[in-house]
Amino acid sequence: MTETQWNGTVLYLLGIVQAIFVVVNANVWWSLGTNPRMLMVGVQPFCTELRELSPGQIRACQNHHDHMPSVGRGARLGITECQTQFKNRRWNCTTIEDDRTVFGPVIQIASREAAFMHSILAAGVVSAIARSCRDGELSSCHCSKALRPKELVRDWIWGGCGDNIQYGYKFGSYFVDLREKDKNHPRLSPELSRMLMNLHNNEAGRRAVYNYANVACKCHGVSGSCSLKTCWQALPPFKDVGKRLKDRYDGAVEVKFNKRGTRLIRKKRRFNKPTQDDLLYVNTSPDYCVANKTTGSLGTVGRECNRLSEGMDGCRLMCCGRGYNTFKRKLVERCQCKFHWCCYVKCRTCERIVDINSCK
Count of residues of this chain found to bind ligand NAG when the rule CB under 6 A is applied:
11
Cα separation, 276 vs 342, in Å, equals 55
Nearest to ligand NAG of 9, 300 (CB atom): 300
Q: Are 140 and 70 in contact (CB under 8 A)?
A: no
> Whole-number minimum distance, CB 289 to ligand NAG, in Å?
10
> In angstroms, what is the minimal distance from the CB of 33 to ligand NAG?
17
Instruction: Quote the CA–CA distance of 339 and 84 in Å, as a whole number.
Output: 33
Q: Which is nearer to ligand NAG, 67 or 303 (CB)?
A: 303
Burial of 103 (0-12, 13-18, 19+ CB in 10 A): buried
Binding of residue 303 to ligand NAG (CB under 6 A): yes
Show contacts with ligand NAG in window 64-103 (CB under 6 A): 87, 92, 94
* Of 12 and 21, CB closest to ligand NAG: 21
Are residues 33 and 75 in contact, defined by beta-carbon separation less than 8 angstroms? yes
H or E segment to which residue 250 belongs: helix 238-250
> b vs e for 18-54, b when ≥16 Cβ sit within 10 Å of the residue's Cβ?
bbeebebeebbbbbbbbbeebeeeeeebebeebebbb
CB of 120 or CB of 298, closer to ligand NAG: 298
DSSP string, 282-322: SSPPP---SEETTTTEE--TT-EEBTT--STTBHHHHTTTS
CA dist., res. 162 & res. 136, Å (int):
11
Residue 358 interacts with ligand NAG (CB under 6 A): yes or no: no
Site string for ligand NAG, 283-302 (x = CB under 6 A): ---x---x-x-xx--x-x--
Q: How far is the CB of 92 from ligand NAG (least distance, A)?
A: 4
To the nearest whole angstrom, how small is the minimum distance from the Cβ of residue 80 to ligand NAG? Answer: 11
The minimum distance between CB 311 and ligand NAG, in angstroms, equals 15
Q: In what order do the strands lie in the sheet with 253-257?
A: 264-266, 253-257, 280-281
Note whether 325 binds ligand NAG by CB under 6 A: no
Number of other residues whose CB lies within 10 A of the CB of residue 306: 15
Of 314, 283, 325, 320, the residue nearest 300 (C-alpha): 320
185 or 316: CB nearest ligand NAG: 316
In the complex, what is the shortest distance from the CB of residue 87 to ligand NAG, in angstroms, rounded to a whole number?
5
As measured in angstroms, the least distance from the Cβ of 249 to ligand NAG is 17
Query: Taking CB under 6 A as the criterion, which residues in 17-56 touch ligand NAG?
Result: none
* Distance of closest approach, residue 85 Cβ to ligand NAG, in angstroms: 12
Nearest to 307 by CA among 290, 296, 319: 319
Side by side, the strands of the sheet bearing 304-305 are 304-305, 344-359, 324-340
The nearer residue to ligand NAG, 67 or 76, going by C-beta atoms, is: 76
Residues 140-179 binding ligand NAG (CB under 6 A) are: none
Nearer to ligand NAG, 85 or 166 (CB): 85
**Residue 91 or 169: which CB sits closer to ligand NAG?**
91
Alpha carbon distance 347, 351 (integer Å): 13
Binding site for ligand NAG (CB under 6 A): 87, 92, 94, 286, 290, 292, 294-295, 298, 300, 303
